[in-house]
Structure 1
């Protein structure tokens, strides 16, 4: 995101920069203080949080491209004033507003309408028309749905009733998702930017280079490893691409990878960062709140799928390098870990502290985020000294900018969820889905995956997750899927949409760094990350992969899942011990499909097929060496 604003171009650049920085720092400090001393109730906290976000949006993003400058300045200024006034009204009238849900007074309706319109315009400025169009469709349903006959319709509702539910109900703008974003999601976003400010990413880069840089296709494997490590502190795919890819993509190209493949590798690896504990994508925190479980349970459940994803990606990269004859980086050119100053290793201590606080002590995610963030700042000052202060200010600014999309998307999704709740569409939609798929689990899963990918083309993961979690997750749970597996399934496909053509945001960001075709880069990322499209089906049919049942860890299912993904990766690459014929690839793909099923007979047949195919490949390789021509 650019560092200067363009919505108020009449202001001098330095004044704008200073103003934006002050707002960002005050916002960050406010979030830290409310985490330490929660003196505001959730709705008031959400109102102030959203006011900070909208104010930055109306300063930073123009009203409309090509709009007359004076008109844009005036409207943006008015919107900032109305944003602050609405937040003040909520904080002042919170108890009366909560008591008057469904029977708002005229002034309540005015402020509620303002809040809805401000969120819609903020969403349009930050994310374009995709999510805004969906919001408009749901609002039209709220006002006109009584004209629809049958199950899909609803009773007629007054404007006051609708606005009260969107504005103040637990399902509306300031519902659970906004509470989660305002209470601790921003803390973890700031943790990621603070770690960058301490040069923690540089240390991760050195460790990754030394660990895998010397192997076949080492530059690409290093990219995968460092992106996975960066994913432990940042749950944003595009941020991961930009931060890590600016260093790894040029190196991959120099060692022999094409621009599209280099960009695709980085996009796939960075997308996996959203599923990498302990700091996952923002939707994971909201998932925990919706399910009513500790965030630690969500993070723990994500461990095995994340490992499977990155193991599959490393194998795909290795086979691609083998096929192209790309070697590793000479050992003499790799950094020596013994040359890393001892004190630099303390940069990893905040990550270890976060894991300890979340997974072992069991304290709340809010306090874990607060303590870890303070520890990161302390480490920064100890290692870097007072030079860390300007870096910390930049980290506050970067974190605030990164939070804008999350906060605005959550608010816009709150409008949709408010409509769903007030019209009863959630239960109706679940019934319609089950009727359309005749209660078939596989068909319902495929329909859900397609919906998540399509929605993900026009909105961020958190918006996709929230909408489908309300509309579709109940149907999945009714079919016998565990709640965590159902929600994680939606979460995964919302994430994978960022590398799914034709609109693949992460891949497009990587293409810009790789100077390659966005379409070719997204296709490369899609192919390399194919495991990410299979893993959700694996943990739905085998919930022990998420630690979601009482059986504990099922080592046999973990082994079967790993083998299924490895086989699928080999089939897609067309390379094993050597190049594979089409029938061989089909046979390996068939074995992979059998391993997905939680059936002992199917798995045994698949293993036998893979053993025979391996022996066949081994025999082919021996013949090739004996008869090179």
Structure 2
């Protein structure tokens, strides 16, 4: 028994060492390709995906060693066979002669089909290991539709494609697995995930957390507000709400609990703030780069129009956090580091962020901007003695960056199957017609259906994959109802984030609940309440000019004011207080006035806004009257 256990441990250690080397080499390869762009898409994308798949099979065994030593060894042998099959199939695909168009006329050879089939099957298995069964189920459902679409009712029927036609479309073209989602994951997203890994190993992540505590820690509910600020700073770079929750939450959640927040409140605050990081410029996770690819709109423009909505979201979250602290009677931290001291020790870590923001706004290639950011963070760390890092930590950052990118690349590869089937069968148009019929052609109904679909999809899909699937199917419905293309994609992008904080399966809230040692469902309820901005702001994007475009500056300014009014109204109504406690009548008036912000009548908007302002002023006056008079000593 001991011999078997020792053998399992020895094999595990060797495999992890091989995986670490392979991950570092993948990062080197990605940087080289980003700088030189020597490899064409039909060569680079299969190499990237095969590398990622091999890493997944190395790091995520079929059978865990805890179950049985013998089963573990058998599972490892199966993994080895899968790795060999991936290597062989990918080599065959990379060396495929695309100049010889006979395959379009005569079809693929048996070996070509076998290679493609191996990649499809082993990609789905890797997806199961990294993302879960739901994504696999969705991909298989779409593949089944492509194959058996001709036997379905005429309202949803398609041609019905052979296995050879599906393999040819999804493997031997840039429309399916090797299509746009994987192209973005293999290019821009990987580099920025690597940038985020370098931020962590260099100590820059700690600097942003320390700076957040210095700025907000002394105020009422300080650690919670610091959590919101830190998550805003780090969330867009990490590319994952869950990773952001675990990273910042391990520090902020215990401090919030110590200050007096209930465990579920601390978990909910961290989950809502970390999820918001995905919509915060300059990086905005992976989805914004997908949006740039899908819409053809420069990333710099997407970045600019995202600033105001992101600030509004975090303003909304901070308001809820403040009201929660007031209700609990909490104070700020007694001792906080001065911001001047924190900046003195870590100001150099701001340079890489300023650099990538400036370069993105100047419309430089996002891949080259990400590489410049990676170099800048390492140079910045090396420039000062107290922040210098060893080569071992540089290699650790390269390894972590590659491993963090695994689920993103694999999910995007599988999402490519969905995108490919939609393009091959034309089901997207049928879905749009179905959605329009179900909603009665009303924008309100379409938004509600998209929000429900986003939550359901997000229960089993990563945010980026959920956005890809939902945008392909739902954006045409929004544009058909008069919503602009960028606004429609932004609405879907924002709603795709909601699954992280919406019960019954709120992944970021569940991760935070583990740190806070509380009920996942209670944490999810708190997170949902705190993240109301994810629902309020997309509605304002649809019904007002919250997405800035040239020529609508006045509408944009009015929309911001109305959104602030809506946020304040809903927060006061839900929490039952603003500056001090609110009466039932005031809460009802706030609720009614909040809904007037959504109506397309200017006079109603203004009337509702006036009511909200009057309630705030009256509440402020009432609060000042209730303050106890100060008594001089003696």
How many Å apart are 1:454 and its aligned residue? 0.6
Aligned partner of 1:393 in structure 2 is: 395
1:546 corresponds to = 547
Is the Cα contact below 8 Å between 2:320 and 2:530 reproduced in 1? yes
Deviation at residue 12 of structure 1 after TM alignment: 3.6
**Is the aligned partner of 1:291 residue 2:272?**
no
Change over 3 Å in CA distance of 1:562–1:105 after alignment to 2: same
- 1:270 and 2:260 correspond: no
Q: What residue is the counterpart of 2:632 in the other structure?
A: none
User: Does the CA contact (< 8 Å) of 1:48 and 1:87 recur in 2?
Assistant: yes
Give TM-score scaled by structure 2 length.
Answer: 0.93
Could you tell me which residue of structure 2 aligns to residue 329 of structure 1?
333
The equivalent residue for 1:237 is 241
Report the equivalent of 1:305. 309
593, 597, 607: which one aligns with 1:595: 597
Are 1:77 and 2:80 counterparts? yes
Matched, 1:413 2:412: no
SS at 1:472 equivalent: helix
- For residues 58 and 82 of structure 2, the distance between their equivalents in structure 1, rounded to whole angstroms, comes to 10
Counterparts of 1:585 and 1:470 in 2: how far apart (Å)? Answer: 40
Partners of 1:341 and 1:442 lie apart in 2 by 47
Matches within 5 A, 1:221-236: 221-236=225-240
Change (3 A) 1:87 1:560: same
The Cα shift of 1:156 comes to 2.8
Alignment of 1:392-541 (within 5 A): 392-541=394-543
User: Which segment is superposed worse, 267-276 or 435-444?
Assistant: 435-444
Point out the more displaced range, 473-482 or 591-600.
591-600
Give a deviation string over 1:85-106, Cα, whole Å, max 9, x none: 2221122115158773583222
Contact 1:430 1:471 in 2 (8 A): yes
Shift of 1:386: 6.3
Q: Deviations over 1:393-450 (max 9, x none)?
A: 1111211121111101101111112222111111111111112222111111110111
Per-residue CA distance 1:562-600 (angstroms, 9 max, x = gap): 221122122111111322233322221221121133431
State the Cα distance separating 1:233 from its structure 2 match: 2.7
Q: CA deviation at 1:10?
A: 6.3
In 2, the alpha carbon distance for the partners of 1:508 and 1:227 equals 17
Detail structure 1 runs of 4+ shifted over 4 Å in the superposition: 8-11, 64-67, 96-99, 618-627
DSSP 3-state at the match of 2:390:
helix
Q: Structure 1 CA distance, aligned partners of 2:536 and 2:42?
A: 39
Distance 1:85 1:514, change over 3 A: same
Task: Tell me the CA shift for residue 14 of structure 1.
Answer: 3.6
- Per-residue deviation, 1:615: 5.0
CA distance in 1, matches of 2:97, 2:408: 24
SS at structure 2 position matched to 1:201: helix
How many angstroms apart in 2 are the aligned matches of 1:132 and 1:62?
Answer: 18
Aligned length: 617
Distance 1:480 1:94, change over 3 A: farther
Deviation at 1:69, TM superposition (A): 2.1
Shift of 1:619: 6.2
User: Contact conserved, 1:557 with 1:598, CA < 8 A, in 2?
Assistant: no
Question: Per-residue displacement from partner, 1:5-43 (whole Å, max 9, x unpaired)?
Answer: x9x946444423321211111000111010100011123
Give the direction of change, closer, same or farther, for the CA distance of 1:583–1:272 in structure 2 (3 Å limit). Answer: same
Secondary structure (helix, strand or coil) at the match of 2:219 reads coil
Mark the runs of 5 or more structure 2 residues left unpaired by the alignment: 630-634
Does the Cα contact within 8 Å between 2:237 and 2:285 map onto a contact in 1? no
DSSP-derived class of the 2:62 partner:
coil
Q: Give 5+ residue unaligned stretches, structure 1.
A: 1-5
Please state if 1:38 is matched with 2:37: yes
Query: Over residues 66-115 of structure 1, what are the superposed CA-to-partner deviations in whole Å (9 max), with x where a residue is unaligned?
Result: 58223311211111111112221122115158773583222221111111
Counterpart Cα distance in 2 of 1:74 and 1:16: 12
Give the match for residue 100 of structure 1: 103
Please, which moves more after superposition, 40-49 or 582-591? 582-591
Q: Distance in 2 between matches of 1:19 and 1:98?
A: 39
> C-alpha displacement at 1:343, in angstroms?
5.8
Indicate the residue corresponding to 1:3 in structure 2: none
Q: CA deviation at 1:383?
A: 2.9
Q: Counterpart of 1:442 in 2: which secondary structure? A: helix
- 1:266-315 Cα distance to aligned partner (Å, 9 max, x none): 11100000000111121111110011122112221211110000001111
Does structure 1 conserve the Cα–Cα contact (< 8 Å) formed by 2:565 and 2:594? yes
Task: Give me the whole-angstrom Cα distance separating, in 1, the residues matched to 2:601 and 2:96.
Answer: 58
Distance 2:411 2:597 in 1: 38
In the alignment, the residues of structure 2 paired with residue 181 and residue 231 of structure 1 have an alpha-carbon distance, to the nearest angstrom, of 18
Q: Provide the TM-score with structure 1 as the length reference.
A: 0.94
Deviation at 1:624, TM superposition (A): 5.1
**Alignment match, 2:52:** 53
Partner Cα separation in structure 2 for residue 410 and residue 380 of structure 1:
32
Partner deviation per Cα, 1:192-226 (whole Å, 9 max, x = no partner): 11011111122112221121111111111111111
User: 2: CA distance between counterparts of 1:18 and 1:316?
Assistant: 46
